[in-house]
Structure 1
């Protein structure tokens, strides 16, 4: 065999071929190092989804800001909103976000017990928040202040209700993650899903702070 034939073929442009392994493509980070790279990619992609979701909420906020005074002679936020109930809702959601962060730390430590406990606490606090929100909606409608009463109430139910639907979806996601972690352990794909769940839950907390400020605090002035 000649020296030219024995020498590895050069790939000066790095077009994805491995000169030492014939025509097989180069697999970047194909072993344990592949997981962190994929985790970053998944997290980045989920942030794009969250940004699109925040844009949707921005449209609801804009609609509410325009219609907040359009009560059509009906009750306004000053007559309808009760800040003591809203304060309890806020406390539940903020505490659930803290518990969600604790679940992430427990999962990083590969503690099955504390991960499940933290996710369970997150779900129970979120469920309490959602129950109070549904109670508020029911109370408003019993007073004749449903979404069909005025443009203001339509915008209110649309904005706050959309956030509530997201919380409900998050609760289903939490239950699914608890089952997957219990059945499959802390595999890399499970950890990536937990990362996305954490980002989603924290984003709901941020949106709620906006709802608290724009809808409730400004509404009772």
Structure 2
């Protein structure tokens, strides 16, 4: 049962929402829900076109390159590495939030640095992948890859790929910026002065959302 608010006191004055949840955290959940609808619309649109089309490029042929090694006989290895990096950055974020609950400023700093490094590594990997595909002639409005059955492919594949992975990459970039700001505030001792690390937890919610969305993007483009 929710706690009652004393007469004359506004429900938001104590930092709690009507659901007895910290107000900022509730707003983050609202934002993530709206963002999930956007990603959902993109992926549903992609799925509708993908399964309404007779032919589609084979991801094992499209995504088989690896930095400094060129085309390999181990398709999807590079994107699997990208996925591993992002998942590990989500683990370090969990550890940062846990350290915040213990009011351990040094551990929060350590794990936030690892999370930021993971995010930057993922963005670097995505930049390389985009650069490599562009060098092969792939871009919005251009698709050099044939369908799995050998027939000519439309530009639907590349248009959706660059749009959705680019939109996700922008979210990762935004998350890295947010985490850098949280790290700076932690180094300044802002959270220690407040007596809590709720801001780290809110940043963690966003970062885990980005990680979860990548699982769906990875499945749709690289596995199906």
TM-score, length-normalised on structure 2? 0.77
How far does residue 107 in structure 1 lie from its aligned partner after superposition?
1.1
2:80 matches 1:59: no
Task: Out of 96-105 and 75-84, give the one that drifted further.
Answer: 75-84
Correspondence list, 1:1-221, <5 A: 17=7, 25-26=8-9, 34=14, 40-68=22-50, 76-82=58-64, 83-149=76-142, 150-183=155-188, 184-188=190-194, 191-218=197-224
- Deviation by residue 1:52-83 (Cα, 9 ceiling, x = unmatched): 00000011112222333799x99553421231
Report the CA distance shift for 1:15/1:115 in structure 2 as closer, same or farther (over 3 A): closer
How far does residue 144 in structure 1 lie from its aligned partner after superposition?
0.2
Matched residues, number = 195
Structure 1 gaps, min length 5: 1-13, 18-24
TM-score, length-normalised on structure 1? 0.78
Report the CA distance shift for 1:189/1:144 in structure 2 as closer, same or farther (over 3 A): farther
SS at match of 2:22: helix
Structure 2 gaps, min length 5: 65-75, 143-154
- Deviation by residue 1:80-113 (Cα, 9 ceiling, x = unmatched): 1231001100110000000000000111111111
SS at match of 1:110: coil
For 1:15 and 1:163, locate their aligned partners in 2 and report how far apart those are by CA, in whole Å: 40
Q: Relative to total residues, which structure has the larger helix share, 1 or 2?
A: 1
Larger radius of gyration between Structure 1 and Structure 2: 1
Does structure 1 conserve the Cα–Cα contact (< 8 Å) formed by 2:59 and 2:223? no
- Deviation by residue 1:154-195 (Cα, 9 ceiling, x = unmatched): 111111111100000000001100111121133549723222
